[in-house]
Amino acid sequence: MLIGAEEITGLILAGGQGRRVDENDKGMLHYKNKPMIAYQVDWMCRQVDQVMISANRNLSDYLSYGFPVLIDAVANFPGPLAGIMKGLEQSSTEWVFVHPVDMPLMPEDTIHQLCASIAQKKSAYYLKSSERSHFLSLLISKSTCQDLVHFLGRGERRVRDFLKIIDAQPVNPGISEKCFANFNYLADYSN
């Protein structure tokens, strides 16, 4: 089953508190002289036609990239699922590819590789490497939006638990483990 780029909206998750980076906004931190959001916008635009950014601060900086910036509908940084919910609500396409702002090393054809690896119809697919699951590198259908609204309404926050409820399928498209590096600490951003 192949899902085309025109059927997918990209959603960059940049709305976290940045606790492990001294509460800095990860999307605004620089790596090799560019803000992380610049890497993700460039990367996403090479793969899909529509892009959105989920952010909760530095909104004017994010807006300067020319894409819709979504603010969580739930207050107090409730986690990435709130950004995903907003993205599903706002998307004009059936599918949303979610990706965190702090993973700048992914191959340029990641979304195509994921879509080409889908063997059966599910409502969500997340990337799995040889070592672990990457729940926030996720292709998810708008059809899951109400399930997510109810999940968050119960006070639930764990991405893994939500993906289990909707029977999301892990997909290993053979991407090298080093590409899945998360930049979680200030030292990761040094040039």
DSSP assignment string, 74-103: SSS---HHHHHHHHHHH-SSSEEEEEETT-
Convert the pLDDT of each residue in 7-44 to its tens digit: 999 999 986 665 655 567 788 887 888 998 999 999 99
Q: Is residue 131 part of a domain?
A: yes
Q: Is residue 123 part of a domain?
A: yes
- H/E element, 125: strand 124-128
CATH for 157: 3.90.550.10
60 neighbors 53 (Cβ within 8 angstroms): no
Convert the pLDDT of each residue in 59-73 to its tens digit: 999 999 999 999 876
155 neighbors 179 (Cβ within 8 angstroms): no
Q: Is residue 182 part of a domain?
A: yes
13 is annotated as contributing to ligand binding: yes
Range of the domain at 118: 5-186
Q: Is residue 157 part of a domain?
A: yes
Return per-residue pLDDT of the chain as tens, 191 residues.
568 888 999 999 986 665 655 567 788 887 888 998 999 999 999 999 999 999 988 999 999 999 999 987 666 556 899 999 999 999 999 999 999 999 888 999 999 888 887 878 899 999 999 889 999 999 999 999 999 999 998 989 899 999 999 999 999 988 888 888 776 655 666 65
Q: 14 forms bridges with which residues in the sheet?
A: 55
188 is annotated as contributing to ligand binding: no
25 is annotated as contributing to ligand binding: no
Q: Is residue 191 part of a domain?
A: no
Q: Is residue 42 part of a domain?
A: yes
Q: Is residue 99 part of a domain?
A: yes
Q: Is residue 172 part of a domain?
A: yes
147 is annotated as contributing to ligand binding: no
> pTM here?
0.91
15 is annotated as contributing to ligand binding: yes
Domains contained in the chain, number: 1
161 is annotated as contributing to ligand binding: no
